[in-house]
Amino acid sequence: MNRSLRPLLATALIFAIAYALAVMQFPSMFSTRVLGNFLTDNAFLGIAAVGMTFVILSGGIDLSVGAVIGFTGVLVAVLIAWAGMHPLLAFAIAILVAGAFGATMGLAIHYLQVPAFIVTLAGMFLARGGASVITRDSVPINHEFYAWISDLTIRLPGGGRLSFIGLTMVAIFIIGALIAHRTKFGSYVYALGGNPVSASLMGVPVARTTVAIYALSSVLAAISGIVFSLYTSAGYPLAAVGVELDAISAVVIGGTLLTGGHGFVLGTFIGVMLLGLVQTYIIFDGTLSSWWTKIVIGILLFLFIVLQRLIFVASAPGEKAAKA
Amino acid sequence: MIRRSLLKLANPQLLALIGVLLINWLLFPNFFRVTWQDGRFFGSLIDVINRGAPVAILAVGMVGVIATKGVDLSVGAVMAVAGAVAATMVVAGYPAPIAVVAALAVGLLCGLWNGILVAVLDIQPIIATLVLMVAGRGIAQLITEGFIVTFNDPLLIYIGTGSFFGFPMAAVIALVLMVVVTLIVRRTAIGLFIEAVGVNRAAASLAGIRSRMLLLLVYSLSGFCAAIAGIIVAGDIRGADANNAGLWLELDAILAVVIGGTSLLGGRFSVPLAVIGALIIQAMNTGILVSGFPPEFNLIVKAGLIFIVLVIQSPLASRLAPPRLQPAAKVPAK
């Protein structure tokens, strides 16, 4: 069996067991209502996590996504509420701005040859600071387009509803999976994560691919910010603080190898759902405080990292020489 | 020898610090005025030193980690944990010295945990320390049971806000820590070993350096420093706030280290310059505050600062610059 499938299977298995245990304790968790809310509540995280999957597959990291979500929310809210633009135009502007922002980070990472985390850290400061300079308050959005979109739901048997933003996330996951596994760009990303030197020797356009990866991550973060603004009907500069950590956790739990080169976009989907399950369970239980979420996510993260190490160290004896 | 060390003083970091302080002075003419009141110094300059101390202490620990090509994202969360431990223990009636020692021990343990993940399990440092960064605040909440634990213990308050010969205690602790760590790494071979591991861990191991031990050591030191900073911050507000203590300070600490000229690619580091980096950051914070800009403006300035430092450090710049200005060509400062 392909060894990069093993972490994915482990995640799927853990999700199935955890969900079964949760349903045994609270039978009402097995309903279309809960499942529908799963998608809606985690939509913005899921979309950002798709971008993060590409970044991590290429062996990088993007710490700026939470800040880009916050910035996009503020930008969209200001363009709609203060400048009176149509939301769709505001969305397009936000996506363009984010794309340019991500591409700049990609350029810096490639041409300055510095670790991705420090460049995206600067990007995080810039986006968060930029959002706070535009406004320091929450800007509400009252537009008929927003009301129209939030009414756009598919009713499921059993009282559940699939919201537009939940379906957007699912669509982005499917498109992301197709890009990763069925396009040239996708194979460049995997090649870069496997070994950048041999990738460049094989003729992978490293500069162009790096720029495209970070631009993609920021664009998806912007879409995530738009979804977040649809979800909350407001833009707030301090929104989505720390979402980058949740996104990284979801990607890792979803079985993508942190050193790059191995992993699946759909694994990230299971990772996001597992994080959502932890949160929903804690809400259902009622006696556990919300800080348990952080601890459980930390434990899951740790377990999956160790699992990855065990699988990959055991099957790659050549790496042993590099350690001691 | 003396001339060489005098020349070394005229480095870009110190000049930058002086520059930022001068700009502050232009914006705020009373900036350098230091008065003596109630047995201690007062003034904006003292404030910069005092407020910069926690980040400076974190930076002392972070330097070693970054010099081994790693990074420690968990220091902010470890600060919260250490503060929570110290506060809950004094509230529960333990004597303050025991609470302080326990908090330091917990910090050391957190650092050791990170070190084990990095050195023994060979996990990338960003991700290994991410585990504690995510879970740490939850653990701190668990210790404080979700409340902000306030205390009136004189020793803890003294550590946070006291004065030592007129100087803020926090700054004195930072200075002592800086001197001790600098002496340890520069008067013994440890600094050289750390640089060797940072440049090439496999080669360092083959050369007989116990790189695993060394990594455990630098991460433990980072956790220990974070615990000290956590106790100071808790003492400063007379309470442990699991949610906000040390929030985002890991980023300031990394920034301070990077401004201090330590290479993110490992192999070159300086403890005193990282402390100066922390002071530069704090001087900018204070400057932005006194000149009436919103504090969020700070983030943009910091982003710009990171970018400038990265461009200067990058191989691209050293290729463009005339040979004698090459920053990358410098041999590790001894």
Instruction: State the Cα–Cα distance between residues B1 and B199, nearest whole angstrom.
Output: 28
How much is the pLDDT for B8? 57
Which residue, among B114, B130, B244, B305, would best test binding to A if mutated, counting the most A CBs under 10 Å from its CB?
B130
CB spacing of A113 vs B126 below 8 angstroms = no
User: Is the pLDDT assigned to residue A183 strictly greater than 90?
Assistant: yes
List the 198-237 stretch of A: residues with Cβ below 8 A of B: 237
User: Is the pLDDT assigned to residue B10 strictly greater than 80?
Assistant: no
Residues of chain B found within 8 Å of residue A133, distances taken between Cβ atoms: 294, 296-297, 300
Tens of pLDDT, residue by residue over A78-97, are: 999 888 889 999 999 999 99
CB spacing of A305 vs B128 below 8 angstroms = yes
Q: Quick check: is A321 in a domain?
A: no
Residue B208's Cβ-count burial label (10 Å; 0-12, 13-18, 19+) is exposed
Tens of pLDDT, residue by residue over B266-282, are: 778 889 999 999 999 89
Q: Quick check: is A33 in a domain?
A: yes
DSSP state of B147: S
Average pLDDT value for residue range B175-198: 91
Asked if A89 and A149 touch (Cβ cutoff 8 Å), the reply is no
Size of interface A-B (CB pairs under 8 A): 141
Q: Which two tokens stand for residue A310?
A: 């065990």
Q: What's the structural domain count of chain A? A: 1
CB spacing of A136 vs B310 below 8 angstroms = no
B25–chain A nearest CA distance, Å? 25
Residues of chain A found within 8 Å of residue B116, distances taken between Cβ atoms: none
**What secondary structure, in 3-state letters, does chain B show?**
CHHHHHHHHCCHHHHHHHHHHHHHHHHCCCCCCCEEECCEEECHHHHHHHHHHHHHHHHHHHHHHHHCCCCCCCHHHHHHHHHHHHHHHHHCCCCHHHHHHHHHHHHHHHHHHHHHHHHHCCCCHHHHHHHHHHHHHHHHHHHHCCCCEECCCHHHHHHHHCEECCEEHHHHHHHHHHHHHHHHHHHCCHHHHHHHHHHCHHHHHHCCCCHHHHHHHHHHHHHHHHHHHHHHHHHHHCEECCCCCCCCHHHHHHHHHHHCCCCCCCCCCCHHHHHHHHHHHHHHHHHHHHCCCCCCHHHHHHHHHHHHHHHHHCHHHHHHCCHHHCCCCCCCCC
The CB density around residue A96, as the number of other CB atoms within 10 Å, is 12
Instruction: State the Cα–Cα distance between residues A132 and A262, nearest whole angstrom.
Output: 37
How much is the pLDDT for B334? 38
Tens of pLDDT, residue by residue over B191-237, are: 889 988 888 888 888 888 888 999 999 999 999 999 999 999 999 98
How much is the pLDDT for B111? 96
Domain with A159, as residue range(s), is 5-314
Of B128, B142, B310, nearest to A114 by CB-CB distance is B310
Average pLDDT value for residue range B113-123: 91
Please name the residue of chain A whose CA is at the shortest distance from the CA of residue B126.
A117
Asked if B239 and B86 touch (Cβ cutoff 8 Å), the reply is no
User: Is the pLDDT assigned to residue A190 strictly greater than 80?
Assistant: yes
Q: Quick check: is A323 in a domain?
A: no
pLDDT band at B9 (very low <50, low <70, confident <90, very high): low
Q: Which of A141-150, A178-187, A288-297, A304-313 has the lowest mean pLDDT?
A: A304-313
Average pLDDT value for residue range B167-176: 92
How much is the pLDDT for B66? 92
Average pLDDT value for residue range A48-58: 95
Please name the residue of chain B whose CA is at the shortest distance from the CA of residue A242.
B134
Q: Quick check: is A60 in a domain?
A: yes
Average pLDDT value for residue range B26-41: 79
Q: Which of A27-41, A266-280, A303-317, B143-157 has the lowest mean pLDDT?
A: A303-317
A221–chain B nearest CA distance, Å? 19
pLDDT band at A149 (very low <50, low <70, confident <90, very high): confident
- Percent of chain B residues topping a pLDDT of 70: 91
User: Is the pLDDT assigned to residue A72 strictly greater than 80?
Assistant: yes
User: Is the pLDDT assigned to residue B3 strictly greater than 70?
Assistant: no
H-run or E-run covering B60: helix B44-67
How much is the pLDDT for B331? 43
Instruction: State the Cα–Cα distance between residues B138 and B102, nearest whole angstrom.
Output: 19
CB spacing of A324 vs B212 below 8 angstroms = yes
Q: Quick check: is A322 in a domain?
A: no
Q: What CA–CA distances, in Å, run from A290 to A34, A271, B88, B184, B191?
A: 19, 19, 20, 43, 43
Residues of chain A found within 8 Å of residue B306, distances taken between Cβ atoms: 118, 121-122, 125
Q: Which residue has the higher pLDDT, B233 or B334?
A: B233
How much is the pLDDT for A255? 85
Tens of pLDDT, residue by residue over B69-102, are: 889 999 999 999 999 999 999 999 899 999 999 9
- Give the CATH number of the domain where residue A242 resides: 1.10.3470
Asked if A21 and A278 touch (Cβ cutoff 8 Å), the reply is no
How much is the pLDDT for B294? 76
B37–chain A nearest CA distance, Å? 37
Please name the residue of chain A whose CA is at the shortest distance from the CA of residue B138.
A291
Query: Buried b / exposed e across B63-80, counting CB within 10 Å, b at 16+?
Result: bbbbbbbbbbbbbbbbbb
Reported CATH class of domain B40-318: mainly alpha
pTM for this model (two decimals): 0.84
Asked if A300 and A274 touch (Cβ cutoff 8 Å), the reply is yes
A33–chain B nearest CA distance, Å? 29
pLDDT averaged over every residue in chain A? 87
pLDDT band at B333 (very low <50, low <70, confident <90, very high): very low
Tens of pLDDT, residue by residue over B46-77, are: 888 999 999 999 999 999 999 998 899 999 99
Local structure of B150: helix, strand or coil: strand
User: Is the pLDDT assigned to residue A50 strictly greater than 80?
Assistant: yes
CB spacing of B124 vs A258 below 8 angstroms = yes
ipTM score for this prediction:
0.78
Asked if A48 and A172 touch (Cβ cutoff 8 Å), the reply is no
